[in-house]
Amino acid sequence: MTTSIHNPQLRLLNALRANNKPIMTFMGLPSFRTAQVIAQTGVDGIIIDCEHGHISDDSMHSAVAAIAAMGVSPLVRLRGTHSDLVKRALDAGAHGIVVPQINTAQEAEAIVSSAKFPPQGLRGQGSAFPGFALGIDTPTYIKTANETLITCVQIESNAGVQNVDAICAVPGIGVSANAMQDLVFIGPNDLALSVLGYVPAKGDEPEFVDAIEKIATAAGKHGKWVGRLSNSGASAKEHLKVFDTVAISYDIRAIQDWYKSELQVARS
């Protein structure tokens, strides 16, 4: 496993490799056109949210194709850890997967096994779609997928924090076990709920700060990229001083915030 393979279609991966601090966002609305609109904004990656969003399997396929066609990296946040969910997302052509609520090294190992073709894993081959989203033919896709697709795990619970060193030590979380090719993502809201018992966190609670620092330290120790959710451009700017990438807000929240803001002005 090396990091020598370069595909210009893989915008998020290439930006991470170049330390360009890429910015992503979440998409929860099931629309091909919504995917296109968001992809035109300048983001480097869009996480299609099959965990909390209103995204069906069909909508996920359409969004992956629409986003990739705009030169942006589509990632799919799964609704669970089952191997079928990994397979469906990657077979649709996702440039990577985001897996929520990873609490143990064993869970991380199972995800890696499902996401990698043999001999690194047990992923089966049969879909003609992934190559479309990466701009390559199927044989090239099979040959390069293990190195070029991002497998991102979310640490967002007290159990995950306690086991974060072992989770980050799992070979194959990301694109290469031997280089800065892996991504650990912090879900601050669920993390606050688990660690503090409430959301949102104020941000300065010692337990919350310690949990985030522990995750970031473990990621760095094991050569992983680390990212987190940011709720605004201002917070994203601050977070990018520390983190390798951020996901800024959510399409649903963006629509709500715009209407709330403009309605306040209109009614003032």
Q: Per-residue pLDDT tens for 130-178?
A: 999 999 999 999 999 999 999 999 999 999 999 999 999 998 664 444 4
Contact 246, 236 (CB under 8 A): yes
pLDDT at position 129 is 94
Q: Which of 181, 182, 199 is nearest to 190 (CA)?
A: 199
pLDDT at position 172 is 66
pLDDT at position 3 is 55
Under DSSP, the state recorded for 174 is S
The answer to whether residue 52 is catalytic is yes
pLDDT at position 178 is 40
Q: Which runs of E-coded beta strand occur in the chain?
A: 23-27, 45-49, 73-77, 96-99, 150-155, 182-186, 224-230, 245-250
Q: Is the pLDDT of residue 42 over 90?
A: yes
Mean pLDDT on 42-54: 98
pLDDT at position 171 is 80
pLDDT at position 183 is 93
- Tell me which of 52, 61, 82, 95 is the catalytic residue: 52
| pTM score above 0.85 | yes
Mean pLDDT on 51-71: 97
pLDDT at position 176 is 43
